[in-house]
Structure 1
Amino acid sequence: MTTPTTPTTGSTPAAPTTGSLRVPGATLHYQVRGEGPLLLLIPGGAGGAAAFDNVADGLAAEYTVATYDPRGISQSTLDDPDATQRVPEHADDACRLLELLSPGVPARVFGMSSGAIAALHLLTAHPERIERLVAHEPPVVEVLPDAAEHRALLARVQETLRTQGLMAAMAVFAEGSRSSSGVRNGEPAEPKAEATLPPQAAARAERTMANLPYFVERIMPSFMAYAPDTDRLEALSDRLVFAGGQDSRGELPYRPAAVLAERFGTELRHFPGGHTGLTTHPDQFGELLRKVFRA
């Protein structure tokens, strides 16, 4: 069941069309802009559809651009707020959006961070729905040779969350990531709001921070423990592009993309900025994304 709502058109560019889609256990909030072949953008971390505000209008010049809040994030509500979150369930949500917005026609998909993990599962489970997938820094740490260290880190993060709270848990995660890579790790969420941020960006960062407890407690454990079907992905690698940030080489989210691209014998495409390059370099990021999908 979908309930679309078309807002009034304001200043250029026009506001997106919004809608809701009922899926098992949740109601998804989504937005649609533009015309042309469908391009589904899957946000990561504690971000929602608003994570793509700075690039969606530009991409809408060539595509019907769909963005959404993953279940439990922002305006996408859960039937059971305490429900365990799993990668296949989130991938199924994305598939249902593709079926709604591009019935019978394969679509282009971009996933970032944890959203890229859901996108990888979507590709292996429903390859007929995807024409091309760009996966930007999916933190599938189970493909790394030091995966056991990251499992131990995640266990420490969850224990700290239970005993000391969110900020202490995030400090453990940041420190453990730095220790593992030797460089500063890009946290899979948007930057905190600062006085220098424009109002729209500050509001987006505020929403991201509000979603962070749910992300750390419900999403991070299962998503970062997810082991992708690498044989299946390799068989589908002709429609799969792994991407990493130019400034995040060697960091935790970057490394799985680099490992898998090398394993599959495909090019790792470098996008501007680091793990949050979509936020810090939106114009350059969007332009490169258009080029990758045209190739």
Structure 2
Amino acid sequence: MEFNATKAIVHNEGCDLHYWYQGTGPLITFVPGGNGHGRQYYPIMAALSDRYTCVTFDRRQMSASQVEASKMRRLSPPQQARDIRAVIRAIGFDKSIVFGSSSGGIFAFQFALDFPEMVDHLISHEAPTLTLLPDASALFESYIHLLDLYDTGGLQAASAEFGKSLIGYDDEGVPKTTPPGPENPANFWRYEFPMLVGFSPNLWRVRQNGTSVGLMRGVRSRDASYARATYEQEKILGCLRMDVPGHHQGFEVETGEFLPCFLDMLDQLEKKRG
């Protein structure tokens, strides 16, 4: 199907969250990562909307979901989880399949912690829970270096250095991703990145709650830290994990190859539960 979503707004905790939904059937909520914008999910929403109701949104302080300059705040993963809840309720659902990629996967885990009764299945795609990795100390120091670089060299210097860790985007034949709005990188580095450096949701509690979880690692991401993190998450959660086509945003630019794996994971999660 073509992307022909309905746009709506729900107000939550001082922010007008702009969201887009399309399709019929069980709900899948697509949670953006650090780039903040929902349109990266338009291709997969269009492909799934013949069998699912699909929704995505611009996260607070990103793209269309802006707040007044005087009300800009540091990122709070629990607040991001409450924003996900607000979007799901606004469409009229009590629960949802939740897909989050990158830091969107972190927010999806936090949503599962805070609102487990609202999770049908959770699929996390390369959530960068870097504190779980064997080389976490070195990674933490490298991220402190990035913050220092942001303070001394500015947004472009920090973004350029950070971009070196994003693997697979320059592979031959891979389409380019949709860039975020011009305000998003500035908001990410000032308000979000410092809070994400050492944050990791309590995955042991997610497992204790019996939440249905699947993990995805993009094959083009190779040995990137966010890809390796999925192996450590699997050890804690004892859940299904898959290697899937594409890089960190493969669901957007290689949707046709990614989609069968997504549907297979949902099918396996259903069978495992039932």
Q: Same fold (TM over 0.5)?
A: yes
- What are the equivalent positions in structure 2 for 1:126-275 lying under 5 Å apart? 126-174=115-163, 177=165, 185-186=166-167, 204-205=178-179, 207-208=180-181, 210-236=183-209, 238-275=211-248
Partners of 1:168 and 1:131 lie apart in 2 by: 41
Give the structure 2 partner of residue 17 of structure 1.
Answer: 6
Shift of 1:257: 1.4
Q: Residues 290, 81 of structure 1: CA spacing in aligned structure 2 closer, same or farther, 3 A cutoff?
A: farther
Give the C-alpha shift of residue 22 in structure 1: 0.4
Answer with 73-82 or 138-147: which moved more: 73-82
Q: Does 1:90 align with 2:71?
A: no
Unaligned runs of 5+ in 1: 1-11, 178-184
The answer to whether the 8 A contact 1:156-1:172 is kept is no
Mapping 1:64-143, distance limit 5 Å: 64-79=53-68, 80=70, 82-104=72-94, 106-143=95-132
Q: Distance in 1 between matches of 2:11 and 2:257?
A: 35
- Per the TM alignment, residue 280 of structure 1 is displaced from its structure 2 partner at its CA by 2.8
Change (3 A) 1:244 1:103: same
- Quote how far apart the aligned CAs of 1:55 are: 1.2
Q: Distance in 1 between matches of 2:238 and 2:101?
A: 21
Give the TM-score taking structure 2 as reference length.
0.88
CA contact under 8 A between 1:38 and 1:102: conserved in structure 2?
no
1:250/1:236 CA distance change after superposition, 3 Å: farther
Of residues 36, 50, 55, the one that matches 2:39 is: 50
CA contact (8 A) 1:186 1:276 kept: no
Say how many residue pairs are matched: 264
**Displacement of 1:262:** 2.4
Q: Provide the residue aligned with 2:21 in structure 1.
A: 32
CA–CA distance in structure 2, aligned partners of residues 134 and 155 of structure 1: 29
2:75–2:195 CA contact under 8 A, matched in 1: yes
Q: Which amino acid aligns with 1:211?
A: N
Shift in Å at residue 156 of structure 1? 1.3
Contact preservation (8 Å) 1:246, 1:271:
yes
Contact 1:243–1:269 (Cα < 8 Å) also in 2: yes
Q: Is the 8 A contact 1:131 1:239 kept in 2?
A: yes
TM-score, length-scaled by structure 1 = 0.82
Task: Select between 263-272 and 89-98 the one with higher mean Cα deviation.
Answer: 263-272
For the Cα contact (< 8 Å) 1:158–1:217, is it kept in 2? Answer: no
Distance 1:260 1:14 in 2: 33
Choose the corresponding residue for 1:291, options 249, 264, 270.
Answer: 264
CA distance, structure 2, for counterparts of residue 210 and residue 272 of structure 1? 30
Spell out, residue by residue over 1:77-107, the C-alpha distance to the aligned partner (whole angstroms, 9 max, x if none).
Answer: 1244531111111111001112222433x21
SS at match of 2:99: strand
Identity %: 25
Consecutive unaligned residues of structure 2, counting only runs of 5 or more, are 269-274
Q: Is the 8 A contact 1:139 1:224 kept in 2?
A: no
Structure 2: distance between partners of 1:93 and 1:47: 13
Give the Cα–Cα distance (whole angstroms) in 1 for the partners of residues 181 and 216 of structure 2. 23
